[in-house]
Amino acid sequence: MTAYEPWTGRDDGSGAEHVRWHHVVEPYATRSDPAACVFIGFASDEGVHRNKGRRGAAAGPYALRQALSSMALASPIRAFDAGTVLVDDDLDAGQRTLGAVVCGALDAGHFPVVLGGGHEVAFGTYRGLADSTLPTTRRRVGILNCDAHFDLRSDQVPSSGTPFRQILDAANAAGTSVEYAVVGISQPSNTAALFDTADHLGVRYLLDDECGVGNTAAIQGFVLDFLAGVDLVYLTIDLDVLPASIAPGVSAPAAFGVPLESIQLVADLVTASGKLAVCDVAELNPGFDIDHRTARTAARLIHRIVTGHRRPPPVRS
């Protein structure tokens, strides 16, 4: 795992009226301010490679930090950077390392935001949440995935196409339950077998052609219904949910995609709920980006989520 590297960016002067992300991000330590955001990189495209996708997502964490760094903040906030988990062909080891860092941040009272990396990041992020002290018998865990794909494959070799099947299997083996829902599923990108798997596992989903800007009420109803049934939320955003014109720099560009406004609405609803415990962003592939538009779009979503974040309430005794 790499150590913290200072964030740099545009500097218009001193004072709160000029503050940008690179002014506020500091090296992470578990004693850092409770409730602060902690950025964690996950430099991996091994899962994408195993899933027969194009490599390059391992460079995502660096590009996301660069895109976020010079964005202006309305007011100063507390934010920290825990460095980046470097993943080679031992994907399981990388996911275990990520899980340990996420777990430590959660147990210290922080809000972890993981910067991927392929969507294999999801199993590591979930491990951190599952191993933390947050889930209890009184706290139901929900995963809301903004994605063109279910990622529910049952392949023997884990990849970027298997993480949510791994999560559901792990929860079942542990005698716990996880509610899993997806916004933005592309029918042509998922076989009938995957739809059958989703139905069998009780996965709720909205298709991409049900998520246009004219479908705000349907999106809002879907997300609010999901939120009503859980106490803690893990929000994961696979950037391939967005149209290729908005997000060309991903492992698998979308032929149709969900408008950015709709994904922003999902993020806003989850953030406003006060149930968001951990978040990650996956599949940024900078080598295929155009004018950094994918990285900037992802950074804008992260900016909005973190600045609007409300800490989940303590467990009721």
| Mean pLDDT in order along the chain per 10 residues (317 residues) | 91 94 91 85 98 96 98 96 97 98 95 97 98 88 98 97 98 95 98 98 98 97 98 98 98 95 98 97 98 98 96 65
Q: Report if residue 9 sits inside a domain.
A: no
What separation, in Å, do the N-terminal and C-terminal C-alpha atoms of the chain show?
A: 38
Residue with the two structure tokens 């602060």:
36
Q: How much is the pLDDT for 294?
A: 98
Q: How much is the pLDDT for 301?
A: 98
Q: Report if residue 225 sits inside a domain.
A: yes
Query: How many domains, in total, are found in the chain?
Result: 1
Q: Report if residue 297 sits inside a domain.
A: yes
DSSP per-residue codes, 226-251: HHHT-SEEEEEEEGGGSBTTT--SBS
Q: Report if residue 38 sits inside a domain.
A: yes
The CATH number of residue 54's host domain is 3.40.800.10
Interval 205-250: pLDDT, tens: 999 999 999 999 999 999 999 999 999 999 999 999 999 999 999 9
DSSP E strands, 29-125: 37-43, 79-86, 111-116
**3-state SS assignment for residue 124:** helix
**100 phi and psi angles, rounded to 5 deg:** -65, -40
Q: Report if residue 314 sits inside a domain.
A: no
Interval 162-192: pLDDT, tens: 999 999 999 999 999 999 999 999 999 999 9
Q: How much is the pLDDT for 315?
A: 58
Cβ–Cβ < 8 Å for 129, 140: no
Cβ–Cβ < 8 Å for 220, 269: yes
Q: What separation in angstroms does the CA of 301 have from each of 29, 280, 304, 305, 317?
A: 25, 11, 5, 6, 35
The rounded distance, in Å, linking the Cα atoms of 305 and 299 is 10
Q: Report if residue 218 sits inside a domain.
A: yes
CA-nearest of 8, 9, 11, 19 to 307 is: 19
Whether the full predicted model's pTM is greater than 0.85, yes or no, is yes
Residue 264: which domain range?
16-307
Rounded to 5 degrees, what angle do the CA atoms 290, 295, 300 make? 130
Q: How much is the pLDDT for 316?
A: 55
Q: Report if residue 75 sits inside a domain.
A: yes
CA-nearest of 151, 162, 163, 148 to 247 is: 148
Q: Report if residue 172 sits inside a domain.
A: yes
The rounded distance, in Å, linking the Cα atoms of 204 and 120 is 21
Report which residue type is found at 294.
T
CB atoms within 10 A of CB 288: 16
